[in-house]
Structure 1
Amino acid sequence: MDVRELRNCFGRFATGVTVVTWKTDDHEYNGITVNSFTSVSLDPALVLVSIDKKAKACQALENRPFVVNILASNQEPIAWQFAGRPQEKLTLEWEETEVGPKIAGAIATIECIPWNAYEGGDHILFVGEIKAFSYNDKDALMFFKGKFINN
């Protein structure tokens, strides 16, 4: 199977863009841009994020609380920052929660504690139990055909 073509096929599904954030053992804030995110269950309230096993974040998230930040249409630089492309002029604004750090200005945040993790081929599927959430009515940053779309 041609993996590049399969990736192109998956790219036809428009997704929102999230940054999953957590606090390190040294109390520093960290995160990774993720578009493989989905709701799993309402009772109990669960979400899933899929992280490549080769990503540093994969080990860092193991058994650690995390926050899913759904980015607003004006937050593309934040998506690039946490995708490994530093944005020199970017100033991040954080908000501390009981679960971990969340990114100010996101259209929604979902605060999670670890529920379970599963092998998923070359990814680990992290399922989190939702402890708190918030949202607003801003427009979302989207990802489609390998590009960000700012409404």
Structure 2
Amino acid sequence: MMDPDHALFVAIVDEGGLAAAGRRLHISPAMMSKRLARLEERLGAKLVHRTTRRLALTPAGERLHADLRSILAALDDAERRVTGASAVASGPLRITAPTSFGRMHLAPYLQRFIDAHPRVELSVDLSDDFTDLMESRADLAIRITADPGQGLTARQLATNRRILCA
């Protein structure tokens, strides 16, 4: 069984804040804050930078979250093997991408994805505006950039050659 404070930390990160995680877990924001502080004290490491507007993981918090997500996935796999249940994708999936990229490279495949995964609640935001990815709580963000930003894991999908003409 996972430590309740570990599950609380995962919920805080997944929900993007103490209040949202507290609503999901039916715990007051004040108690969420106390339990997070207790976990940080027990581990001897700051896990989260908090402001009134946002939450950002520290490097230690990023490592712990990644490890805990792997542990949760392994627990889910173990339970599925015991119960004989198959892994079915379900739940919300939030994707954000630049408008032209989304129209050209995502849109043609969305219906096929929805048909193959009917239990996934897909939300796609196509915008060329600057978006704070931590605040938007996107599960997958496709961006054209050399610097993905602090606290984000990036994978290069392709090169983007640009030519300046005057």
Q: TM-score range by the shorter chain?
A: under 0.3
Higher relative contact order (CA 8 A, sep 6+): 1
Q: Which has the larger radius of gyration?
A: 2
Higher strand share: 1
- TM-score, structure 1 as length reference: 0.20
Higher helix share: 2
